[in-house]
């Protein structure tokens, strides 16, 4: 190493850059990890059938589900006043669906 000061400055830049990237990644993960909101106010279905994956399970402003999501997925929307789709992701606004017989 011919110039230790330049080497140290370059090393410090790489450490700072790596730390900045790591903290930005952690901040994004925290945003994605916020709690879900669960809503149990809808109790019935328009039709007694199972939805396809990524199908609309509840339309905005409707008081009945269009279909029931499979057991491994959630009726999920970005907010209360949006269409909800069957999704395996349990974040966002989750509409809790009862069974076809009225049980959860």
Beta strand pairing call for 56-58 and 74-77: unpaired
Q: At residue 40, does pLDDT exceed 90?
A: yes
Cα separation, 75 vs 104, in Å, equals 14
45: nearest Cα among 25, 33, 63? 63
- Rg from Cα positions in the chain: 23
pTM of the model: 0.63
What DSSP line would sit under 12-36, residue for residue?
HHHHHHHHHHHHHHHHHHHHHTPPP
Give the per-residue pLDDT at 15.
83
pLDDT in tens, 62-73: 999 999 999 989
**Structure-token pair, residue 20:** 């900045």
């Amino acid at each position: 190493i011919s110039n230790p000061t330049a080497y140290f400055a370059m090393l410090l830049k790489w450490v700072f850059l790596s730390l900045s990237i790591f903290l930005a990644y952690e901040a994004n993960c925290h945003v994605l990890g916020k709690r879900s909101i669960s809503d149990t106010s809808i109790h019935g279905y328009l039709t007694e059938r199972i939805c396809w994956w990524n199908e609309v399970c509840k339309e905005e402003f409707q008081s009945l589900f269009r279909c029931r999501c499979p057991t491994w997925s959630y009726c999920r929307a970005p907010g209360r006043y949006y269409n909800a789709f069957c999704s395996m992701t349990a974040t966002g606004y989750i509409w809790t669906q009862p069974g076809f017989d009225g049980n959860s």
